[in-house]
């Protein structure tokens, strides 16, 4: 399911863990959580393999159509066989994973920065600006996101990597902005903000140096979970054929070949490895995110 709303159970962070070592606590909880630790190790191994191998792979070679090798099963030449264009699956997996992760990461970063800026400003200053921003956010959240992205992908003449990231980010900053705003709103009422004002600290400094550090654990949890979500959305759109341009190898595209009855039944090497890769990526990132979330919630902490 595409996650377009924030997870429901973002529990309030209680004052106890606002101690400076909140990040340290997060770290400690992670280490204690065997599943999360395993996830991190898998992620590190997987991603370093992918990024290093992709350096030595020749992408032009991989995307070249080879009519003699259509749908070839795994062999010495092609470790995981080839797809219906005779292209090497293993190579596509590597490049596709790299692309999916990089794009997911970039989108998370961009939406994180926008959401953080907008949310902090709206929450801290309040008033009319906050009102207008919230109206915009409420509206964007209602838009049929998937459909509009698909429409854009079809009608924008040169739809490339950057337009894709741009369109996605244009929608996905809203959830984050809303979360940050509500947390900032609560934080602003605390006396340490008033104290900073009476001590002559300018507003921008209060926002960046006083309020922001107190939101750090929430932000980290949110970004982690979002990273997984964004990878899912990217590969989903590629699956439908509206993600990256066709010439770019992508995990979603490989899985989309499974919509053909022959491929899904008889040519497992085309779609199963890509599916497993995405599942592993998303599960691992989510496990880390959930562990972080538990760590910010004292009720669920492992102690």
Partner 1 sequence: MAFLEVKDLKVYYPIRGGFFKRVIDYVKAVDGINIRLEQGETYGLVGESGCGKSTTGRALLKLTKTTSGQVLFNGTDLTSVSAHKMHELRKDIQMIFQDPYSSLNPKKRIVDIIAEPLRNYEHLSRKEENKVAREYMERVGLSSDSIYKYPHEFSGGQRQRIGIARALTLNPKLIVADEPVSALDVSVQAQVLNFMQDIQKEFNLTYLFISHDLGVIRHMCDRIGIMYQGRLVEEGLSRDIYENPQHIYTKRLISAIPNIDPAHREKQSAIRHQINDEYNKSYKNYFDNDGKAYQLKAISPTHFVALP
Partner 2 sequence: MLKFLLRRILIMIPQLFILSVLIFTLAKAMPGDALSGQLENAHADPKVIAEQRQKLGLDDPIQVQYIRWINHAIHGDLGMSYTHKIPVTDLIGERLWNTLLLAAATLIVSYAIAIPFGVASGRWTNSWLDKWVTCYTYFTYATPLFIFAILMMFLFSFELNLFPSGGSVDPQAVPGTLNYFISKFTHLVLPTLSGALLATSTTIQFLRNEVIDTKIQDFVATARSKGVPESKVYSRHILRNSFLPIAAFLGYDITGLIGGSVFVESIYSYPGLGQLFLDSIQQRDFTVVSALVMISGFAALLGTLLSDIILSAVDPRIRID
Binding site for partner 2 (CB under 8 A): 1-5, 7-9, 11, 138-139, 141-148, 150-151, 154-155, 228, 232, 235-236, 239-240, 242, 252, 255, 258-259, 261, 264-265, 271, 275, 278-279, 282-283, 285-287, 290
CB-based contacts of 249: which residues, under 8 Å, 6+ apart?
59, 62, 63, 87, 91, 92, 95, 96, 99
**Pairwise CA distance, residues 129 & 118, whole Å:** 10
Per partner kind, with CB cut-offs from 5 to 8 A, the member of partner 2, partner 1, none near residue 200 is: partner 1
**Which residues form the interface with partner 1 (CB under 8 A)?**
15, 18-22, 190-192, 194-202, 210, 213-214, 216
Residue showing tokens 């997060």? 26
**Pairwise CA distance, residues 76 & 92, whole Å:** 16
Per partner kind, with CB cut-offs from 5 to 8 A, the member of partner 1, partner 2, none near residue 65 is: none
Question: What's the residue count for the chain?
Answer: 303
Compare residues 212 and 283 and give the one whose CB is closer to partner 2: 283
For the bound state, the minimum distance from the C-beta of residue 26 to partner 1, rounded and expressed in Å, comes to 13
**Pairwise CA distance, residues 229 & 20, whole Å:** 29
Supply angle C-alpha 193, 22, 13, rounded to 5.
65
**Structural contact between residues 115 and 180, judged by C-beta atoms closer than 8 angstroms:** yes
Compare residues 124 and 145 and give the one whose CB is closer to partner 2: 145
Compare residues 10 and 53 and give the one whose CB is closer to partner 2: 10
For the bound state, the minimum distance from the C-beta of residue 24 to partner 1, rounded and expressed in Å, comes to 11
For the bound state, the minimum distance from the C-beta of residue 224 to partner 2, rounded and expressed in Å, comes to 12
Per partner kind, with CB cut-offs from 5 to 8 A, the member of partner 2, partner 1, none near residue 194 is: partner 1
Compare residues 121 and 233 and give the one whose CB is closer to partner 2: 233
Compare residues 103 and 116 and give the one whose CB is closer to partner 1: 116
The H or E element spanning position 216 is helix 212-240
**Pairwise CA distance, residues 188 & 269, whole Å:** 55
**82 three-class SS:** strand
Supply angle C-alpha 102, 121, 189, rounded to 5.
120
Per partner kind, with CB cut-offs from 5 to 8 A, the member of partner 1, partner 2, none near residue 21 is: partner 1
Per partner kind, with CB cut-offs from 5 to 8 A, the member of partner 1, partner 2, none near residue 43 is: none
Compare residues 214 and 263 and give the one whose CB is closer to partner 2: 263
């Amino acid at each position: 399911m595409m996650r377009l709303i924030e997870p429901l159970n973002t529990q309030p962070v209680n004052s106890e863990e606002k101690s400076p070592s909140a990040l340290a606590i997060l770290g400690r909880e992670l280490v204690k959580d065997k599943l999360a630790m395993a996830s991190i190790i898998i992620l590190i191994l997987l991603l370093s393999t992918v990024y290093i191998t992709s350096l030595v792979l020749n992408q032009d070679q991989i995307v070249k159509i080879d009519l003699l090798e259509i749908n070839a099963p795994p062999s010495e030449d092609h470790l995981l066989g080839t797809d219906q264009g005779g292209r090497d699956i293993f190579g596509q997996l590597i490049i596709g994973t790299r692309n999916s992760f990089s794009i997911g990461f970039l989108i998370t970063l961009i939406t994180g920065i926008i959401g953080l800026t907008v949310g902090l400003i709206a929450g801290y200053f309040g008033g009319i600006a906050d009102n207008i921003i919230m109206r915009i956010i409420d509206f964007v959240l209602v838009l049929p996101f998937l459909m509009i992205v698909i429409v854009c992908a079809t009608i924008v003449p040169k739809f490339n990597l950057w337009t894709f990231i741009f369109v996605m980010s244009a929608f996905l900053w809203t959830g984050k902005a809303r979360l940050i705003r509500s947390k900032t709103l609560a934080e602003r009422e605390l006396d340490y903000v008033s104290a900073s004002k009476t001590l002559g600290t300018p507003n921008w400094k209060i926002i960046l140096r006083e309020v922001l550090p107190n939101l750090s654990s929430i932000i980290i949890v949110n970004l982690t979970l979002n990273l997984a979500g964004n990878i899912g959305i990217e590969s989903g759109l590629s699956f439908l054929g509206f993600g990256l341009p066709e010439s770019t190898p992508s995990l979603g595209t490989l899985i989309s070949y499974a919509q053909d009855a022959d491929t899904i039944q008889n040519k497992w090497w085309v779609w199963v490895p890509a599916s497993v890769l995405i599942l592993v990526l998303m599960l691992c990132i989510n496990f880390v995110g959930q562990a972080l979330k538990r760590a910010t919630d004292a009720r669920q902490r492992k102690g």
